[in-house]
Amino acid sequence: MSSPVPPPPYKVVLLGDSSVGKTSLVTRFTTSRFNQHTANTIGAAFITKEHSVDDRKVHFEIWDTAGQERYRSLTPMYYRNARVALVCFDMDNVEESLNTAKYWIDQLAVNGGTDSSVPIRIKLVGNKRDLLQTHEDTRRQEEQEAIEGFCSENDLEQLWETSAKDGHGVNELFDGIVKDIEEDF
């Protein structure tokens, strides 16, 4: 009998402006909870989580990075060898947070990927989707156009909409990550 193939590393990194909800997304995914008040992430946090998908379990290694500019020079070490980068923005603060998302996408193009030269997969995550209901129709329209333009300019297939607050889209996002990783493995 041949020995079983070791599983791929399910290593994920969250990038994006501070306060877009990166830590909250990880907390929602790992504990099913949400806090209105969160502490700023210092440097980065490492979280592991066993996740059931279909009929098996995968073991996620998640790096939740700080968004603040003063930590930016440290961040490449967190996405080194990561398979998937979640580039997160705030659907309630689209213009500013997409600008920072662009910064990270450009950084990943230069420094992303693994030693085995598997390119890092980028998923664009629009968090705080629950707050969209407070936006008027014209504002929503403009934001949607800005997001669509951003996706096509940066060759991003899909926007993953989430709410760490009500949990919308969070499990689907992590299921999608498993699929990405296994396609490349």
What's the rounded Cα separation, in Å, for the pair 179 and 36? 31
Indicate whether 23 belongs to the interface with Mg ion (CB under 5 A): yes
The torsion region of residue 30 among left (phi > 0), alpha (psi -120 to 50) and beta comes to alpha
Give the footprint of Mg ion on residues 25-54 (CB under 5 A): 41
**Residue 22 Cβ, how far from Mg ion at the closest point, in Å?**
5
**Stretch binding ligand GDP (CB under 6 A), from 46-54, 76-84, 133-141, 162-170:** 162-170
Indicate whether 171 belongs to the interface with ligand GDP (CB under 6 A): no
Between 23 and 97, name the residue whose CB sits nearer to Mg ion: 23
**Residue 116 Cβ, how far from ligand GDP at the closest point, in Å?**
29
**Residue 164 Cβ, how far from ligand GDP at the closest point, in Å?**
4
- Identify the H or E element spanning 46: strand 44-53
Indicate whether 127 belongs to the interface with ligand GDP (CB under 6 A): yes
Question: Which own/partner pairs from 37-46 qualify as long-range (CB within 8 Å, at least 24 positions apart)?
Answer: 40/66, 40/68, 41/65, 41/66, 41/67, 42/66, 43/71, 43/74, 44/71, 44/74, 44/75, 44/78
**Stretch binding ligand GDP (CB under 6 A), from 43-51, 95-103, 123-131, 171-179:** 123-131
**Stretch binding ligand GDP (CB under 6 A), from 110-118, 147-155, 157-165, 177-185:** 157-165
Among 22, 83, 121, 123, binds ligand GDP (CB under 6 A): 22
Indicate whether 100 belongs to the interface with Mg ion (CB under 5 A): no
C-alpha distances out from residue 158 to 65, 124, 149, 163, Å = 22, 7, 12, 16
Closest alpha carbon to 80 in 9, 24, 16: 9
Give the footprint of ligand GDP on residues 31-50 (CB under 6 A): 35-38, 41
What's the rounded Cα separation, in Å, for the pair 105 and 87? 7
What's the rounded Cα separation, in Å, for the pair 120 and 111? 10
Site residues (vs ligand GDP, CB under 6 A):
18-24, 35-38, 41, 67, 127-128, 130-131, 163-165
Site residues (vs Mg ion, CB under 5 A):
22-23, 41
